[in-house]
Amino acid sequence: MGYPAKMKGVPPPKYTLQLFGRFELSGPEGPIELPNKKLAALLAYLACSAPQPQSREKLATLLWGSHFETQARQNLRQALFRLRRVLGHDALIADGEQISLSPDVDCDAVRLQALSRKASPTSLAAAAELYRDPLLADMNIAEEAWANWLSAERLRLEGLALDAMIRHAEQALQSGDAESGLKAARRAIAVNALREDAHRLIVQALADTGRKAEALRHYQDLVMTLKRELNAEPDAVTTSLVADLHRTQHRNGSRTIGGSAKAAPPPFSDEPSLAEEVRSVRLKRRQLTIMVCNMVSEGPLSARLDPEDIYDLIAAFQERVADTVARFGGHVAQYRANGVLIYFGHPVAREHDAEQAVRAGLAIAEAIGLLKAPSGLPLRASVGLATGLVVVGERPATGDTQQRLAIGETPDLAARLQAVAAPGEIVIAASTRRLVGRKFDCRVLNGNQAKGLPQSVEAWRVLGEAAGGVAPR
């Protein structure tokens, strides 16, 4: 989330807030020191979530969750009072139980998100420059809710910054500016040395500037890094790029790899150019909420329906699921035999992806309940949801579509949770439960309900949205 772009007649922000790296607050007269870290953390959280208002209960739990509720509320009131004394009464907008931050505070984390959405070469370069160090690197607060939020927000904003750096590097290479592309890609691997797409762009940029020996040395360094850190090897696109570099060393003339100019392909070759192949695959580390949704019935459909009728029924089920999740920002990654795999957080990451995923699951359960098989047999959907860090690869498929596949433990966990979900139920992982807080009425699965899950995995059944947005303790 973020504030709208500045317009004529709108006064500039009075305060500047730096959250990447160390917390720094500046006003018209220079740096401002806040009395304690929890005051700084409260301001940082309100800035990152602006202009979305936050409930007093959520803020109290975030920073004083280990206290009794009355004391936590009192601490929050005192913190808000102190912030108003520092920033002015109008800096905080109070509407009953809701608190939000006014546009008087300009925050680097919010600006990065706005620049990333514009996606122009200038805005991507500016977004890349904003990111220096992880979010609030000096802000350690011993509260579980704070630690969970900060960990997830750090991953999300780091991912946005890395994507901005990568896209800036790609655009620079495509426009023929190999040096700018090289600089942006090197910034990306300084943030995350395991971004293979950034390493590929470095190899391309070095080759474009005639430094092929250096490009091959960089590839060897990548091989050792992947082996040491992940016990893995470079993917097929990277090895193909390097093989092409080896071949071009023995040809007359050079072939542009990833630049705007491209030589003609070899005679009688129907294969796409290597530059197109390299650009066609991206590997990204993202925090996603993954949904696995399957169609279930009270009896075997094959015993009552013709195969053509079953096919039509599954198609209707998948279409209704796709239409439903689209309303909540979900992306259909794959249609399966009798189900759908959905991502929340890719290709577009939003602040409340986990909450929207749970709402989508509840809406699916309701929508599919209205479907019936031709035999009159009622249909249900069983839904599993899990949130975690994955590697997402995407490659153009037929037409203008994209095939996306998330790799990691999270997709497997979502599938396991779907398998234990009863018809019409939504089961979520503890990782998703932590992100949605008490916005939903959930019950932990025990004993036979969680049969098939490892003992270390905690799962929750979602009963619905909590009354008033807050579930009972």
Q: Across residues 13-27, what is the average pLDDT?
A: 92
Residue 194 · residue 159 · CB < 8 Å: no
Checking if the pLDDT of 429 tops 70, the result is yes
pLDDT in tens, 340-359: 999 998 877 888 899 999 99
- In the β-sheet with 30-32, what is the strand arrangement from edge to edge? 30-32, 24-27, 15-18, 105-107
Q: Across residues 192-212, what is the average pLDDT?
A: 91
Closest CA to 6 of 106, 124, 120: 106
DSSP state of 132: -
Q: What is the DSSP string of 3-49?
A: PPPP-TTPPPPSEEEE-BSS-EEEETTEEE--SSHHHHHHHHHHHHH
pLDDT for the residue numbered 406: 80
pLDDT for the residue numbered 395: 52
Greatest alpha-carbon span in the chain: 78
pLDDT for the residue numbered 258: 38
pLDDT for the residue numbered 251: 54
pLDDT band at 171 (very low <50, low <70, confident <90, very high): very high
Checking if the pLDDT of 1 tops 50, the result is no
pLDDT for the residue numbered 11: 60
Query: Tokens 């220096």 belong to which residue?
Result: 132
Please give the helix or strand (H or E) that residue 61 lies within, else none.
Answer: helix 56-64
Instruction: Please return the burial class of 316, using the count of CB atoms within 10 Å of its CB with bins 0-12, 13-18 and 19+.
Output: middle
Checking if the pLDDT of 162 tops 50, the result is yes
Query: Tokens 């000096």 belong to which residue?
Result: 138
* Structure-block tokens of residue 401: 């579509």
Domains of the chain, each with CATH number or no CATH: 15-118 (1.10.10.10), 283-469 (3.30.70.1230)
pLDDT in tens, 48-98: 998 889 999 999 999 999 999 999 999 999 999 999 999 998 889 988 899
* Structure-block tokens of residue 21: 């790296």
| Nearest-angstrom CA–CA distance, 441 and 365 | 16
DSSP state of 251: S
**Any idea which of 39-48, 88-97, 403-412 has the lowest mean pLDDT?**
403-412
| Nearest-angstrom CA–CA distance, 76 and 139 | 18
Checking if the pLDDT of 169 tops 50, the result is yes
| Nearest-angstrom CA–CA distance, 292 and 233 | 29
pLDDT for the residue numbered 237: 79
Checking if the pLDDT of 273 tops 60, the result is no
